[in-house]
Amino acid sequence: MRIGLDAMGGDQGPAETVAGAVAACRDFGLAVTLFGDQAVIERELARGPDGGQDIQIVHAAEAVSADEAPVQALRKKRESSIVAGLYALKAGEVDAFVSAGNTGVLVSGSLLVVGMMPGLRRPGLVALLPTLKRQPLVLVDAGASVDPKPGQLAEYAVVGSIYAEEILKRPNPTVALINIGAEAGKGNELSRQAHQLLLGAPVNFVGNIEAREMLDGEVDVVVTDGFVGNVMLKLAEGLGMGLFSLMSREVRKTWSGRIGGLMLRPHLVELRSMMDYSQYGGAPLFGPRQPVIKCHGASGRDAFKNGVRLGAEFVRLDVVGRVESRLTEVAR
């Protein structure tokens, strides 16, 4: 098994991706192919310990910027790290592809380069959100499809259910639609229509849920469009981290606060790690017939290490194949 990693993706560049790849090789015994500027990657590799890691490099020096039109990039930037990685995935040269690059290019590349599994119109990003119950909930779509048709939300409900059942081992997972009220008639046009379609979908649909209740962890899967899902994910991240910095500012103000803070530290560290996206390593993109993992743009080496691990788990458990066969079953 060999995991491909986009060495040029992410806000922090190759220093973090390469270090993440080295750590994944060392800690999990994985083989990694890095896609990107060979000279830059080799320089970064030279900085780290040479532990005889099985790391290959595929030189791909073109850059895809954050504001580049995805279809354009796919057509013209075959020598970019992200597009080269997707073609290598398609060709079977790597078994999973991990990238913190342009989401639009990853999504379009899944459609156009890798190919979609039957039963899904467009890819959906699956993210895990921490809840008060300690077990994360599954959010689909976390940002792949920003103007979906109502029927896509029903498809995402199926994907989320399969993920919760097969990977998180939740029997008969409950699915709710993110909405701004509990009643079926609430919400915008999209959510009103999606609600009706979800009633007929082959999932355990329990109705609308408001974002406030979601965190109680009473449902296993929530579906929403990629715009709302992405906003929610980023707000949760910002708020979680923001509250911790506010708290540490408060705590440092007085001596009693400092002492209390020190005594609480181990507890807060645990709490903080629950809010930390890097532990999940990334969000799998469902739809492509081979595993594609989207890492957070702000990912550091730990997140990339875990992203590579998540890609390997997807290969090992044949998650994509299982979702595809369940989708086919559902569609029959």
Tokens describing residue 275: 């809010």
Please count the other Cβ atoms lying within 10 Å of the Cβ belonging to residue 211.
15
Residue 121 binding a second copy, by CB under 8 A? no
What x/- string results for residues 186 through 225 when contact with a second copy is judged by CB under 8 A? xxxx-x------------------xxxxxxx-------xx
Angle (CA) 304-309-313 rounded to 5° is 145
d(CA 52, CA 45): 11
**Residue 207 DSSP SS3:** strand
Provide the minimum distance between the beta carbon of 297 and a second copy in the complex, in angstroms, as a whole number.
9
CB nearer a second copy, residue 191 or residue 204 = 191
CB nearer a second copy, residue 93 or residue 218 = 218
What x/- string results for residues 134 through 173 when contact with a second copy is judged by CB under 8 A? ---------x--xx--------------------------
Cα 310 to chain centroid distance, Å, stands at 10
State which amino acid sits at residue 214. Answer: M
Tokens describing residue 235: 């707000």
CB nearer a second copy, residue 45 or residue 176 = 176
Provide the minimum distance between the beta carbon of 326 and a second copy in the complex, in angstroms, as a whole number.
29
Q: Are 138 and 174 in contact (CB under 8 A)?
A: no
CB nearer a second copy, residue 24 or residue 232 = 232
Sign of the Cα pseudo-torsion (140, 184, 151, 70, in order): negative
Do you know the residue count of the chain?
332
Q: Are 307 and 20 in contact (CB under 8 A)?
A: yes
Contact positions with a second copy (CB under 8 A) in 237-256: 237-240, 242-243, 245-247, 250-251, 253-254, 256
With b for 16 or more beta-carbon neighbours within 10 A and e for fewer, the 81-117 pattern comes to bbbbbbbbbbeeebbbbbbbbbbbbbbbbbbebbebb
CB nearer a second copy, residue 272 or residue 289 = 272
Contact positions with a second copy (CB under 8 A) in 59-98: 66-67, 69
Cα 239 to chain centroid distance, Å, stands at 19
Residue 11 binding a second copy, by CB under 8 A? no
Alpha-carbon dihedral angle through residues 99, 100, 104, 108, given to the nearest 10 degrees:
0
Provide the minimum distance between the beta carbon of 321 and a second copy in the complex, in angstroms, as a whole number.
30
Residue 235 binding a second copy, by CB under 8 A? yes
Provide the minimum distance between the beta carbon of 209 and a second copy in the complex, in angstroms, as a whole number.
10
- Contacting residues toward a second copy, per CB under 8 A: 66-67, 69, 132, 143, 146-147, 178, 180-189, 191, 210-216, 224-228, 230-232, 234-240, 242-243, 245-247, 250-251, 253-254, 256-257, 259-264, 267-268, 270-271, 274-275
